[in-house]
Structure 1
C-alpha cells in the first residue's frame, strides 16, 4: 500500500469495531489519525462497553501513525464544529474523512413488523446512523475540499447491490444502512467538482468486539463460535476493512471509485491486501452463494 505520511485523517466513530480497525490501518500507513467517539476512560456512552477512544489512539501509535483521541458526540453540531476547528488549528488540513458513527446494535428489533417495533428505539437508531453522518459532513467537508483530492468513506452494512435485492430484517435498520449508501452517492455528486471522492464501504461478517462477545469467544479462539454458527467461518477482523480504507486513501486514482459501493472483499481483490491471518474473505459473495442458499458452511474458494 502507498504511504499516507503527511496525510491527516478523521475516523468518526473509532471507539471499537470497524472504526478502530480503520484507524489502526491508516496509522500503519503513516497518517495522523483523529479518533472520535463517546467512550473515554473517564466517561462511558450508553453502550456501557469497555473500549475507549484512548485505546484506539494508542493502537494507532503502536502501528506507526499518530493517534489523537477527541471525545465527540456527533449528534451535537457544536461539538463537531469544535472538533473541526481543532483539526484545522493543529494540522491545517484534512485528507480523509471516515464516517463510521453507528451505535445502534442495542436498538435493533429483528424480524418484527414496523407497527410492533419501538418508535423511540427506531428514531434513535436513525439519528445515530444518519444525522451523525450529515452533521459531520457539514462541518468537515469544507476543510477536506481545501486539501484537494480528499476522500470521504461512508461506512455501512451491505453493498448497494445486495441491499437493493434484500430486506435487512428490520424497517429501521434497513433504512439506516441504505440511507448511508445513498449519502455516499449524493456526496460523490457534490464533491466531484472539487476533485474529491466519496465511497460507501462495507465490511463482511466482521469479528468486532461486540460480535465476539455475542458468541462468547475471543479473537484468539474465534473458530470455537462455529459450533453455534457454522457460517461464521467467513468472518473477518476489523483490520481487513481497515486495510480496504487505507488502500483507497493511498490510491492516487481513487476517483475511479467515486459514488461506488464496495466491500472489503471486493477491494482486496483489486488492491491485493489480506486479512491479518493471510486470508482474503469474500463475505458477501459467500452469503449469497452459500449461506442464503442453505448450503453447508464451507469457505473454500471464498477466503
Structure 2
C-alpha cells in the first residue's frame, strides 16, 4: 500500500526543477498532487518545462495530478487556487510544499555584481514570488489544515540562508524562509499542524544542467563525463530525492517532533532509508565528507575516505561556511 494514498498535496512552482521532482516523489507515494506554474503546455523560456509534462510524469509514477496555471505574484489567482482545492477535496489539504521561486532571471541578470549596483526592486523580483508567496500560500493552507487539525507545510529554503550565496537579496530571503517555517510551527502546533523548512543539497535541475552543458561545450568534453565530474565533485542530488524525502515526512506519524526545524534532504534520506533515482544517497551539507573538499579542493579525490560526520548546527552558525561556486 502506498504511504500517501488518499492524501491531498499542493506543490507550487512545479513546471520543472525541484517542484517537478517533488511532485513526482509524492506521486510515487500515491498522493493526489495539485501543481502550479505559469506554463501549462509550453515553456516560457529556453530552459523548458511545463505543467503538462510534470502531470504526465506524476501519473506515470503512480499518483493523480491536477495541473493549474497560477501566477503566484497575483494573490487573487492564489486565493482561487485554494478555493478550488477546498471545493474539490471537501476542505482537505494534507500537504503544502512552498517551492515556487521567481528570482532566477533577476539573479542571472545581476551577474555577480554587488547589491548596490542593482536597482532596489531586485529585492521584490527575488522575494515576491518566493518568500512573500510562501507566506500567502501558508496562510490559505493553514486555514484548511487548522479546521481538520492535521497537515504539514514544507517551505523549500536553502543553505543560502546560512552562508553567502547569490547575493544579499537571495540570502536574506532564504534565511527568512527558515524563520517563516519556524514561526508558522509555533502558531500551528496547538492545532497539530506541522511546519518545516527543507534544505535540498546541490540539485541537478534543468537550469544547472544547462550551465554544465555550456561549460562542457566550452571545454570540448563529453556531456556525460563533464556532468559526472561535476556531480561527483559537488555531491549532487536530483530533484526526485527531495520529493521522496518530503513524501516520507508527510507519512511520518511523529512529524510533530520535527516541526519548526530545518530538515536537510540528505539527512532525511538516511533516516528513512531513501535513495536517489540512480540508487545513490548523498551526504549532508554539514557532513565533513562534503565540507572538507569544499574548503580544500585537493581533498576532492579522497572524499570517500573522509568520515561522514555531521557538524553541529552551532558550529556551522559560528563558521558561516561559504558555498561552492558552481
Shift, 1:146, TM fit: 2.5
Q: 1:167 aligns with which of 147, 157, 164?
A: 164
Q: Structure 1 residues 223, 153: CA separation in 2 closer, same or farther (over 3 Å shift)?
A: farther
Is the CA contact 1:268–1:274 (under 8 Å) kept in the aligned structure 2? Answer: yes
Name 1:26's counterpart in structure 2.
Answer: 26
Task: Map Cα deviations across residues 206-263 of structure 1 (whole Å, 9 max, x no partner).
Answer: 0101111111189x95542355x47645111111111110110111111111011021
Name 1:281's counterpart in structure 2.
Answer: 282
Between stretches 127-136 and 182-191, larger displacement belongs to: 127-136
Name 2:194's counterpart in structure 1.
Answer: 197
Is the CA contact 1:11–1:100 (under 8 Å) kept in the aligned structure 2? Answer: yes
Matched, 1:185 2:182: yes
Is the CA contact 1:2–1:250 (under 8 Å) kept in the aligned structure 2? Answer: no
Name 2:148's counterpart in structure 1.
Answer: 147
Task: Map Cα deviations across residues 29-64 of structure 1 (whole Å, 9 max, x no partner).
Answer: 11000000111215x54x454200111111111111
Tell me which structure has the larger Cα radius of gyration: 2
Gaps of 5+ in 1: none
Q: Structure 1 residues 177, 223: CA separation in 2 closer, same or farther (over 3 Å shift)?
A: farther
Tell me the SS of whatever aligns to 2:102. Answer: coil
Tell me the SS of whatever aligns to 1:119. Answer: coil
Q: Structure 2 length normalisation: TM-score?
A: 0.83
Name 1:247's counterpart in structure 2.
Answer: 248
CA distance in 2, matches of 1:230, 1:87: 38
Aligned residue runs from structure 1 range 1-303, under 5 A: 3-41=3-41, 44-45=43-44, 47=45, 49-92=47-90, 93-108=92-107, 109=110, 111-158=112-159, 163-164=161-162, 166-216=163-213, 222-225=224-227, 229=230, 232-284=233-285, 285=287, 286-298=289-301, 299-300=303-304
Q: Superposition RMSD on alpha carbons, in Å?
A: 2.3
Tell me the SS of whatever aligns to 2:86. Answer: helix
Greater relative CO, 1 or 2 (CA 8 Å, sep 6+): 1
CA distance in 2, matches of 1:221, 1:144: 45
Shift, 1:277, TM fit: 1.3
Is the CA contact 1:235–1:281 (under 8 Å) kept in the aligned structure 2? Answer: yes
Gaps of 5+ in 2: 217-221, 309-326
Tell me the SS of whatever aligns to 1:6. Answer: coil
